Amino acid sequence: MSDGFVIEGLDRFHRQLLAFTKNKFPRAAEAWCEGLAMRLMERVADLAPVREDPGGGRLRNSYVTASMGQSDEDAYFERIGRGGNIAVLVGSNVEYADYVNTGHKLRNGAWWEGYHYFDDAWDEFEAEAADWLADRLEELFSESGLS
């Protein structure tokens, strides 16, 4: 009788795991980040207030444009990095966007609270995004033979 044990297939699993982390996962993570950012911007656009006058809608439309992955005069969309260092920046270049979201001091010195629609959108979206990412990761592991 000998001491110890043998694990068969560990070398193969190790190769699969390395290929997964170097190739499949970074490409998938980029697409996931971009997709999640666009879905969040759709939620932000839904919650952004719209003035009821003929000029209203510029702020909301800036988020809609960002959610389509486009930058224009008002929308902001940029993907930064590749592989493990991915960031997707989305938002509005409308000069008053931050004031409408977070609030601001009025001319009379009083504080106007703001709508906090960006935070509200994230609060609604965070759990859904985590579940969606867990499902995508499980699918990717399965496709790669790692599950």
Sorting pLDDT into bands at 50, 70 and 90, what band is 1? low
Instruction: Give this prediction's pTM.
Output: 0.79
Q: How far apart are the C-alpha atoms of 12 and 59, rounded to whole Å?
A: 53
Cα–Cα distances (Å) from 73 to 62, 66, 97, in that order, read 8, 11, 13
Tokens 């004031």 sit on residue: 99
Residue-averaged pLDDT of the chain: 88
Segment 116-120 mean pLDDT: 94
Predicted pLDDT of residue 106: 96
Read off the amino acid at residue 74.
Answer: D
Whether residue 84 has pLDDT greater than 70: no
Residue 38, φ and ψ in degrees, nearest 5: -65, -40
Closest C-alpha to 90, from 104, 103, 74, 101: 74
Residue 118 scores a pLDDT above 70: yes
Distance in angstroms (rounded) separating the CA atoms of residues 97 and 90:
13
Query: Of 126, 71, 123, 117, which Cα lies nearest the Cα of 98?
Result: 117
> In this predicted model, which residue has the larger pLDDT, 103 or 53?
103
Picking from 136, 147, 125, the residue whose alpha carbon sits closest to that of residue 25 is: 136
Give 117 or 84, the one with higher predicted confidence: 117
At 26, the amino acid letter reads P
Judged against a pLDDT cut of 90, whether residue 105 lies above it is answered with yes
Whole-number pLDDT of residue 25: 84
What pLDDT, on the 0 to 100 scale, is given for residue 42?
94
Length in residues, the chain? 147
| Residue bearing tokens 């969040």 | 40
Does the pLDDT at position 92 exceed 70? yes
CB atoms within 10 A of CB 100: 20
How high is the pLDDT of residue 51? 85
| Residues 120, 118: Cα–Cα separation, whole Å | 5
